[in-house]
A and B are shown apart, each in its own frame.
Chain A
Amino acid sequence: GQEFQFGPCRVEGIVLQELWEAFWDMKDVVQAQDNITNVRLLRKEVLQNVSEAESCYLIHSLLKFYLNTIFKNYREKAVKFRILRSFSTLANNFVVIMSKLQPSQENEMFPISENARRRFLLFQREFKQLDREVALTKAFGEMDILLTWMETFYQ
């Protein structure tokens, strides 16, 4: 079967195609709510040229933020837009991935984890600069950018 290999962190049992299909089911509804076309939260500087070693730290931070901030506060909208099934599929899979990620806490890894943290902070800062509801909608609509990046670690 296929698995994610985020550097040293290996995650089995996730079918990426199912995550995509869940996202595509709601993409038009969600992205249509975001009419700010000149702001992208998951910018190139966040996700491009991420080293294997960094990837486990970065995906861990991003998924944690998506689960604890975005999914948590977007659920009401998901009910309103009738996309709860897709919403749950993505949330549950993200929980499973998170549970299997064990980024190393060893001191020698600090420079790498610090790099990943800087990337994550770029994303978080951009998120905080927007109105709360606008930021939630935009982040939720950018999950295809996140999935596209995750796919590069899917083997």
Chain B
Amino acid sequence: HIPEDTSDLLQYVKFQSSNFENILTWDSRPDSSPDTIYSVQYKTYGEREWLAKEGCQRITRKSCNLTLETGNLTELYYARVTAIDPGGRSATKMTDRFSSLQHTIIKPPDVTCIPKVRSIQMIVHPIYTPIRAGNGHQLTLEDIFQDLFYRIELHINDTYQMHLGGKQREFEFIGLTPDTEFLGTIVIFVPTWSKESAPYMCRVKTLPDRTWT
């Protein structure tokens, strides 16, 4: 008996995670039927049971949000998708072992850039994740990653930048020229886990100096 080739039904079953929002995604080959239906199961590594993910049973879309189900940072997880096409052919594929701590990507920070006459202040807002502590308190990235810090750059001109950095969330570049435009970039670093966010950018102009007018 030669097993039927169903590789067209299901490909690239994997987790995509950013700031601990864990989305299971998959794909199928273009020649597969658009009426194919998909069902998702997940399990904690080391447990026996596969659990059906409510809301992702017999769906036609190719993604499923498993954030809540994979929210324990000390656990590792697997998920698997079963695809069934109108002709009754089916295929099941499993993800690699998933750890949100290792796999999550850090999104750019949320920053408020405040121009003054001779300085620019930058305030990084706390980044809340879907992860909750035992007491139900929602954790920020800083709560989860002890060695998280921010690196701030202010581009003065094509060749000259100013740098600030640290774990605090308020920074101020001083000694700037009034009424001048600057480009600020803010990046999050988590050294131990080799994580670096894409930069947040703000273009901002210092205020005119009206003291002598």
> Of B46, B99, B191, which one neighbours A43 at CB under 8 angstroms?
B46
Alpha-carbon gap, A44 to B76, bound state (A) = 11
| Complex contacts, A48 vs chain B, CB 8 Å | 74
Asked if B46 and A32 sit within 8 Å, CB to CB, the answer is no
Asked if A148 and B96 sit within 8 Å, CB to CB, the answer is no
Interface presence of A74 (CB below 8 A): no
Interface presence of B43 (CB below 8 A): yes
CB distance from A139 to the nearest CB of B (A): 13
| Complex contacts, B78 vs chain A, CB 8 Å | 37
| Complex contacts, A40 vs chain B, CB 8 Å | 45-46, 76
| Complex contacts, A2 vs chain B, CB 8 Å | 147
Interface presence of B102 (CB below 8 A): yes
Asked if B102 and A28 sit within 8 Å, CB to CB, the answer is no
Alpha-carbon gap, A24 to B96, bound state (A) = 13
Asked if B47 and A38 sit within 8 Å, CB to CB, the answer is yes
Number of interface residues of A (CB under 8 A): 22
| Complex contacts, A20 vs chain B, CB 8 Å | 192-194
CB distance from B66 to the nearest CB of A (A): 16
> Of A24, A39, A145, A151, which one neighbours B76 at CB under 8 angstroms?
A145
| Complex contacts, B48 vs chain A, CB 8 Å | 38
Interface presence of B127 (CB below 8 A): no
Asked if A31 and B97 sit within 8 Å, CB to CB, the answer is yes
Alpha-carbon gap, A27 to B9, bound state (A) = 27
Alpha-carbon gap, A145 to B23, bound state (A) = 22
CB distance from B28 to the nearest CB of A (A): 22
The size class of the interface chain B forms with chain A is: 10 to 19
Alpha-carbon gap, A20 to B97, bound state (A) = 16
Interface presence of B101 (CB below 8 A): yes
Interface presence of A66 (CB below 8 A): no
Asked if B46 and A24 sit within 8 Å, CB to CB, the answer is no
> Of B45, B99, B102, B193, which one neighbours A37 at CB under 8 angstroms?
B45
Most central of A32, A37, A141, A145 by chain B CB within 10 Å:
A37
Alpha-carbon gap, A145 to B193, bound state (A) = 13
Q: Given A31-B96, A144-B102, A145-B76, decide whether A151 and B192 contact each other with a Cβ distance below 8 A.
A: yes
A-B contact pairs, 27 of them (CB 8 A): A17-B191, A17-B193, A17-B194, A20-B192, A21-B194, A24-B194, A28-B96, A31-B97, A32-B96, A37-B43, A37-B45, A37-B78, A37-B97, A38-B43, A40-B46, A40-B76, A43-B46, A44-B74, A48-B74, A141-B97, A144-B76, A145-B76, A148-B74, A148-B99, A148-B101, A148-B102, A154-B192
Hey, which bits of chain B sit against chain A, CB under 8 A? 43, 45-48, 74, 76, 78, 94, 96-97, 99, 101-102, 147, 191-194
For the complex with contacts A37-B45, A39-B46, A148-B101, 16 further pairs of A-B residues with Cβ separation under 8 Å are A16-B192, A17-B192, A20-B194, A24-B102, A28-B96, A31-B97, A37-B97, A38-B46, A38-B48, A40-B45, A40-B46, A43-B46, A148-B74, A148-B99, A151-B192, A154-B192
